[in-house]
Amino acid sequence: MTLMETAARPEGGTLLEQFELGLDAPICLTWELTYSCNLSCAHCLSSSGRRDPRELTTEQCEAVIDELQRMQVFYVNIGGGEPTMRPDFWHLVEYAVAHQVGVKFSTNGVRITPERARWLASTDYVDVQISLDGATAEVNDRVRGPGSYATAINALRHLANEGFRDAKISVVCTRENIDQLDEFKAIADTYGATLRLTRLRPSGRGADVWDDLHPLPHQQRQLFDWLVAHGEDVLTGDSFFHLAGFGEKLPGLNLCGAGRVVCLIDPVGDVYACPFAIHDNFLAGNVLADGGFAKVWQESALFQDLRAPQTGGACSGCAHYDACRGGCMAAKFFTGLPLDGPDPECVEGYGESALAGPRSIPAASQDHSRDAPGRNAPVLLTLSRRDGVDAPPVSACAESPLAGFVPA
Amino acid sequence: MLGEAWSLSPSVALRPEPFGALAYHFGNRRLTFLKRPQLVDVVRDLEQHRDVAAALDAAGVAEDQRPAYVAALRDLARADMIRPRQEATR
């Protein structure tokens, strides 16, 4: 590997400092296999729904796996869309495992039948992650759509019944489910699964609902305390390093790995800096057009740039900068905040004041949402009435001389 | 440990990196970072040496560094990254 031939790379230092300078291959790669999805979650990171006709063919996917094997990428996180919608999905899982690339795949559970669960239980190196965004059907189905809670729980039950051990339950933490953390843990314990909590990102359709769904400041504290109390028992995918300013360090690397230790391959082979940054600004190249994944990872100008030393910008004077490193690049970008300023959910509150100021939210550069909402699409509306309205509005045609008169 | 024969576990792969290497265990799926190129040399070549002390010498580990390297090797042993070697079977 010749990645660092031009860079005068310092020796020693902490592992974190080394990671910030990038690796020869990613540690953890997310690969979204399709934009097709049976659900239409309100906060979908990749604005999934419809398949893209340019999606990689089976042979092209196998070539990517061959390359990952050569690069010694030891495992990939496969997602989508709903990856199991691809007719060749199970074949690709088997192909990856046979080529020393372990697989963890994220699913809403729709294809996890008892037979499939039995097959999964019989394989090594395959890990299953079921998405669940509410510990009750009421909370979950509001954002993920009617019936999605039952689908996820059924999948967990099939896995447990067929002897699959230690499935993951992946929860996106929102304003509406922060109070359910103990209940999520109880569900995980019931099915012999491990709980994984991640951050709500304003990416994809998440941009449309982030203002209403992202945890409130006191909930961030509640979440942080819960995470500290549960330590290594709960996975976070290093999601919450922006909360490190609260004090104690959470388990994990606590660094933005974008283009340094992680990246995303999307269904058409585009390589983005991270799973939460599907936007032209973070597009490093394409595995088909730019000479393969290794070349994109090692040589793209964008990734070289992300691996260059960063300055704290507006945050450099903050006492917590060493802990949170300015937070999440994608969260800043998609809320229209400067990349060298505070995270929108900065624990010091600098994000809130930045959000209140002038900003322009970037337009999406891809959208695979369905054209028309499906039968099971979530509708994030609540029926209510305005305060202080105690009579019907007065029509312009009202003839009564007392129309609109309210006795004092 | 210095006088014992060890080797890399059969299910572990080493991936060279600028800072040293990643060690991945396909069995227990643990990822470990070997932070010094010298430690990578030691771990990779354990099998070719009579004992751990010989492997350390071959990698040029200074005498006063030995305790730190032995501690690192013990950590790796706990994660099953390296295993005691059965001389009888060789």
Strands of A200-336 (E only): list them: 262-265, 270-272, 283-286
- Could you report the predicted ipTM of this complex, rounded to two decimals? 0.86
Low-confidence stretches of chain A (pLDDT beneath 50): 1-7
Taking an 8 Å cut-off on Cβ atoms, the answer to whether B31 and A74 are in contact is yes
* A342, amino acid identity: P
In terms of Cα–Cα distance, which of A231, A230, A278 is closest to A44?
A278
pLDDT of residue B90: 46
**Closest residue on chain A to B12 (Cα):** A74
Q: Is A30 left (phi over 0), alpha (psi -120 to 50) or beta?
A: beta
What one-letter code names the amino acid at A55? E
Minimal Cα–Cα distance from A72 to chain B, Å? Answer: 6
The rounded distance, in Å, linking the Cα atoms of A44 and A371 is 15
Indicate the length of chain A as a whole number: 408
The SS3 of residue A169 is strand
**Considering only CB atoms, which chain A residues are within 8 Å of B23?**
none
pLDDT at site A4: 41
Contacts 24+ apart (CB under 8 A), A371-376: A371/A50, A373/A40, A374/A40, A376/A39, A376/A40, A376/A145, A376/A146, A376/A147, A376/A148
β partners of residue B77: none
Answer whether A21 sits within 8 Å of B33, measured CB to CB. Answer: no
| A–B interface: beta-carbon pairs under 8 A | 42
pLDDT of residue A237: 86
**In the sheet that B20-25 helps form, which strands lie side by side, from edge to edge?**
B12-17, B20-25, B31-34
Interchain CB distance below 8 Å, A18 and B31: no
Residues 6+ apart with CB under 8 A from A313: A326, A338, A339, A340, A341
C-beta atoms of B18 and A75 within 8 A: no
Question: Is the Cβ pair B18, A3 closer than 8 Å?
Answer: yes
Contact B18 A125 (CB under 8 A): no
Identify the pLDDT of residue A119. Answer: 97
From chain B, pick out residues whose CB is under 8 angstroms from the CB of A124.
26
Provide the residue type at B71 as one letter: A
Of B22, B29, B35, the CB nearest to A27: B22
pLDDT at residue number A2: 43
H helix or E strand, kind and range, residue B24: strand B20-25
**Nearest by Cα to A36 from A275, A370, A274, A264:** A370
Contact between residue A171 and residue A165 where contact means Cβ atoms under 8 Å apart: no
- Determine the distance in angstroms separating the CA of B88 from the nearest CA of chain A, rounded to an integer: 30
Question: Nearest residue of B to residue A74 by CA position?
Answer: B24
Greatest C-alpha distance within chain B: 37
State how far the Cα of A48 lies from the Cα of A367, in Å rounded to an integer.
Answer: 7
How far apart are the C-alpha atoms of A367 and A389, rounded to whole Å?
A: 39
The nearest alpha carbon in chain A to B33 belongs to: A15
Which tens digit of pLDDT belongs to each residue from B25-76? 988 888 899 988 999 999 999 999 999 999 999 999 999 999 999 999 999 9
The pLDDT value recorded for residue A295 is 97
- Which structure tokens are listed for A26? 């990613």
A contacts of B28 (beta carbons < 8 Å): none
The CA–CA distances, whole Å, from A35 to A42, A51, A374 equal 15, 5, 16
pLDDT digits (tens, 9 = 90+) for A231-286: 889 999 888 989 988 887 777 777 889 999 999 999 999 999 999 999 999 999 99
The per-residue pLDDT for A18 is 84
* Dihedral pair phi/psi, residue A343, rounded to 5°: -65, 145
